[in-house]
């Protein structure tokens, strides 16, 4: 085979091999070194209209990328906590009959100030501030 043809064959097969190698290695490198995802800088969100949540009820609201448990205790008393359990990050819920915050994963229990009262959670839930703006229930970082 003449040298010029050999070079062409070398570049075709060599380029294909290098392209294949890059296409296999690039996802592996991206998996091992993922881009930093910054948390959305949200300082407050509207959790809904006041009349949409009955007294002694709770619901999960998105606060940026984080779930927050919004609880309406009475006509004018509201609370909000991070809905991420401090044990193994399950999503907590409001237990209306027992008036506490409950994590179904390992029966973790928090009181209505976010303090751990039973189960394995090692730390209290982070509390958010809640206030009414017109009819809107506004949750903000406290």
Distances (CA, A) of 90 to 34, 62, 106: 24, 15, 9
Q: How far apart are CA 28 and CA 20, in angstroms?
A: 13
Looking at the Cβ atoms of 73 and 105, the one nearer to ligand FES is 105
Looking at the Cβ atoms of 2 and 122, the one nearer to ligand FES is 122
Distances (CA, A) of 107 to 68, 88, 90, 104: 19, 12, 11, 5
Enumerate residues 82-121 that contact ligand FES by CB under 6 A: 85, 87-88, 90, 103, 105-106, 108, 119-121
Looking at the Cβ atoms of 67 and 119, the one nearer to ligand FES is 119
Place of tokens 């809905």: 83
The residue nearest ligand FES at its CB is 108
Q: Which residues bind ligand FES (CB under 6 A)?
A: 85, 87-88, 90, 103, 105-106, 108, 119-121
């Amino acid at each position: 085979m003449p040298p010029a043809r050999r070079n062409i064959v070398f570049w075709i097969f060599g380029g294909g091999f290098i392209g294949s190698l890059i296409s296999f290695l690039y996802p592996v490198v991206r998996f091992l070194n993922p881009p930093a995802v910054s948390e959305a800088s949200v300082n407050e969100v509207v959790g809904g209209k006041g009349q949409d949540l009955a007294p002694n009820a709770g619901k999960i609201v998105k606060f940026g990328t984080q779930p927050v448990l919004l609880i309406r205790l009475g006509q004018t008393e509201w609370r909000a906590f991070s809905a991420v359990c401090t044990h193994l990050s399950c999503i907590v819920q409001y237990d209306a009959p027992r008036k506490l915050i409950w994590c179904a994963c390992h029966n973790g229990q928090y009181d209505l100030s976010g303090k751990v009262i039973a189960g394995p959670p090692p730390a209290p839930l982070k509390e958010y501030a809640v206030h009414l703006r017109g009819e809107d229930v506004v949750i903000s970082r406290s």
